[in-house]
Structure 1
Amino acid sequence: MQAVLFALKDISLVQFKNYGQASFRFDQRIVGFCGNNGVGKTNLLDAIYYLCFTKSYFTRSDQQNVRKGAAGFRIEGHFEKQGQLTDVVCILRETGRKEFISAGEPYEKFSHHIGRFPCVIIAPDDVQIITGGSEERRRFLDALLSQLDPDYLQNLIEYNRVLQQRNSFLKSQAEKRLTDRHLLEVYNSQLVRPGNWLFERRRSFLQDLLPLAAQYYKTIAGTDEPVALTYESQLLNSSFADLLHQGREKDLYLQRTGAGIHKDDIDIRYSDLPFKSIASQGQRKSLLFALKLAEYETLRQDKGFPPILLLDDVFEKMDAERMHNLLDQVCLRDQGTDLHHRHPRRPHPPRNGPARR
């Protein structure tokens, strides 16, 4: 029997979304949740995501995940990682205060938890990574790199903090009809340091990730389609300090920072045309899966074990060949995968926990 490298063994929910109180055990490598709409399949996947990322995948506010009529929630799970069992607990108190605890020790900073229990999720709305604005692709990239590198997450937090302060300063200067250029230069220097660090990390990382995603796309599509993915950043052509200096007057006029790594993007082309404009729904989903599988493989290589893979109703609008190729990648290629899959088409919900497949 193959030794377990990483798996979620069980989870319990109290007052979380539509669950009053429920517990589930996972004793198979691949687990499927099936049932009618509204029974809580996606909510269960989101609870697993909470234990890995300290937050919901689907909502920004923790309060939105509290069961109607309740004042808080609790999620608890036990992870087995390389022979060691670790408990993880997320509690939202009645006061709105959130606590996150691992192995009995509360975190002072939730960011310290990210990457300890790696996870990849694929949900229907994730197609926005392909069809939406650049912020969707940056969010995907930041989530992956934050699981790989704690320094990346800390630099990203610092960058966003200074960016918000600089934007608030620009707005205040416009309201007061003042221009404190010395203080603006201070904000510039504070922004440049983490910005340059993040840019170099992204550029180096994407040199490997994007070709891997392109290869996965060909495998899932079953054909050699002319898809190209390229990293785009203003910092590729000019230094960050120069960009901020050159855009100073425009930033003061618009009251926001127009240059920086918060404008980065991944350009996706099909025969030199914008992919999202000409691709079919099946092609868009195939590319989404390719990016997510590249994320999964990158985490597996870095951590030394496969991450948890959560699939939420992923096969809609895919033809049989693409579906088969995707399943071959996530279920058969790597026998270490711990995969949880929400399947909506079975007529009756499970009575005592998720269905095993």
Structure 2
Amino acid sequence: MTRLTHLRLAHFRSHIRAEAGFDGRPVVLFGDNGAGKTNLLEAISLLSPGRGLRRAAAEDLIAQPEGLGWKIAATLNRAGTLHDIETEGRPGSPRSLRIDDKAAPQSALGRVSAMLWLTPAMDRLWIEGAEGRRRFLDRLVLGFEPDHAEAVLGYEKAMRERNRLLREEVRDAAWYGALETRMAGFGAQIIANRAATLARLAAASDPDSPFPHADLTLLDDAPPDEFSLAEAWAEGRRRDMAAGRTLIGPHRADLGAVWGARGMPAAQCSTGEQKAMLIALILAHARALRQDTGIPPIVLLDEVAAHLDEGRRAALYDAICTLGAQAFLSGTGPELFTHLGTRAQCFRVHADAGHSNLQESPLP
């Protein structure tokens, strides 16, 4: 199993100093709006590849007015192996990362822990642009294929260079060919990883769950194999040059979802049904990872309980405990989590003089 066992924050958003130890049970964070609960979840999310659940720039995470720079230190236990992680951001400098006291790229975090999250901002995932759905899908993929992050970064880096050539109307075929070959290698890997993940999620879905199952499809016009991808970009250079960007490829893919029981596209479902489908996906992902690796992901659920009726709240908590996933759940009051009882570790988050404080406080 993967467990976050210790977390320490310094000058991170509203948390000037915060420290907590976790015993492996689900963790409840409760407190008033603006107390700093989401800031804690965001800090934990930065223990995975990427920019965290808010996608904030490193400088935006610095506590104000001090402006000294922030630091997160954590210990993760992955299948009995402890990993010490330190990441920090200072004014005018990029975010740094050390794993087990060695400098590391962010993509290396994918090999230490799988992590997923749901936030209120994701309530509109199915009705807004494809970019958010691609990011959500790629985070699902990371649980199964930790190297996926490096493939995505490699593809995007080569594509940015190709796009620069297109905008500058460079016509050197050899230069394009080298970039397109590199893009094709990464691109074929990305497409294959995404397709395999969707198949694994479908196999791990629970037909008896109170959360509606979504039939997922990968909407991508790009050819799936390496040779055909490179050929398509070579043939499309004139068109891409007119547009000033690469018009086909896995960076244009979308995630389609249909409520299986009703045959209704997710975009046409109610807000509550859309959120319930996302919860079903999170649970299917945890179930599949546990089946495949014995290691379910860490799950961050920000204000999810407030939008569920009592029956679905209880079903969600029972599913999390059954799967053995370490979940961090936030809400305004402890009454939202009473069904967890002693199965959860509980902390009160409160604001004092503009700064957040964290205090362990058992559920009533």
TM-score interval (norm. to shorter): 0.7 to 0.9
Whole-angstrom distance in 1 between the partners of 2:146 and 2:162: 24
Moved more, 96-105 or 32-41: 96-105
Q: Give how far 1:305 is off.
A: 2.3
Partner amino acid, structure 1, of 2:304: V
Is the 2:215–2:258 Cα contact (8 Å) retained in structure 1?
A: yes
The CA deviation string for residues 168-202 of structure 1, in whole angstroms up to 9 with x for no partner, is 111111xxxx6444433343333222212222232
TM-score by length of 1: 0.85
Distance 1:170 1:47, change over 3 A: same
Contact 1:309 1:338 in 2 (8 A): yes
Report the secondary structure of 1:52's partner residue.
Answer: coil
Asked if structure 2 preserves the Cα contact closer than 8 Å seen for 1:211 and 1:229, the reply is no
Q: Is 2:50 aligned against 1:39?
A: no
Residue aligned with 2:304, SS: coil
Count of matched residue positions in the alignment of Structure 1 and Structure 2? 340
Distance 2:141 2:43 in 1: 22
Bigger mean CA offset, 109-118 vs 267-276: 267-276
Partner in structure 2 of residue 76 of structure 1:
73
How far does residue 237 in structure 1 lie from its aligned partner after superposition? 8.2
The alignment status of 1:275 with 2:262, answered yes or no, reads: no
Q: Is the 8 A contact 1:118 1:299 kept in 2?
A: no
Partner of 2:317: 327
| Superimposed CA distance per residue, residues 118-170 of structure 1 (whole angstroms, 9 cap, x where no aligned partner) | 22222111234322222222111222323432432222211111111111111
**1:317/1:113 Cα in 2 relative to 1: closer, same or farther (>3 Å)?**
closer
Matched position secondary structure for 1:209: helix
Distance apart, 1:94 and its partner CA:
4.3
Cα separation, partners in 2 of 1:46 and 1:354, compared to 1, 3 Å:
farther
Q: For each residue in 1:249-278, what CA deviation from the matched residue of structure 2 results, as whole angstroms up to 9, or x when unmatched?
A: 2211111111111111222235555320x2
Which sections of structure 2, spanning at least 5 residues, go unmatched? 336-347, 351-356
Matched, 1:293 2:283: yes
Q: Per the alignment, in what secondary structure is the counterpart of residue 131 of structure 1?
A: coil
- How far apart are residue 220 of structure 1 and its match? 2.6
- Look up the match of 2:344: none
Distance 1:48 1:110 in 2: 14
Aligned to 2:32, what secondary structure does the other structure show? coil
In 1, Cα distance between equivalents of 2:145 and 2:256: 24
The 1:98/1:349 distance shift into structure 2, 3 A limit, reads: closer
Query: 1: CA distance between counterparts of 2:210 and 2:274?
Result: 11
1:207 to 186, 199, 202: 199
In structure 1, the partner of 2:238 is: 249
Stretches of structure 1 that go unaligned for 5 or more consecutive residues are: none
Amino acid aligned to 2:290 = R
Per the alignment, in what secondary structure is the counterpart of residue 64 of structure 2?
coil
Paired-residue identity, %: 26
Q: Distance in 1 between matches of 2:193 and 2:24?
A: 37
Cα deviation digits, residues 16-58 of structure 1 (max 9, x gap): 0001112122236122111111111111111112223364321
1:353 aligns with 2:359: yes
The residue identity in structure 2 corresponding to 1:279 is: C
Cα distance in structure 1, aligned partners of 2:266 and 2:221: 21
| Partner secondary structure for residue 36 of structure 1 | coil
Contact 2:10 2:18 in 1 (8 A): yes
Task: Report if the CA contact (8 A) 2:47-2:109 is conserved.
Answer: no
**Do the aligned partners of 1:33 and 1:341 also contact (CA within 8 Å) in 2?**
yes
- Matched with 1:185 is 177
Residues 32, 96 of structure 1: CA spacing in aligned structure 2 closer, same or farther, 3 A cutoff? same
- For the 8 Å contact 1:203–1:231, the answer to whether it is kept is yes
CA distance in 1, matches of 2:43, 2:232: 42
Please say if 1:314 is aligned against 2:304.
yes
Matches within 5 A, 1:48-197: 48-53=44-49, 55-69=51-65, 70-107=67-104, 109-173=105-169, 179-197=171-189
Question: C-alpha deviations, 1:183-234, integer Å up to 9, x for none?
Answer: 333433332222122222322332222454xx34861337xx8x53222221
C-alpha separation in 1, matches of 2:106 and 2:90? 16
Structure 2 match to 1:340: 328
CA contact (8 A) 1:120 1:310 kept: yes
Structure 2 length-normalised TM: 0.83
Residue 260 of structure 1 aligns with which residue? 249
- In angstroms, what is the RMSD of aligned CA positions? 2.7
Q: Distance between the aligned counterparts of 2:37 and 2:155, measured in 1?
A: 36
The 3 A distance-change label for structure 1 pair 201 and 340 is closer
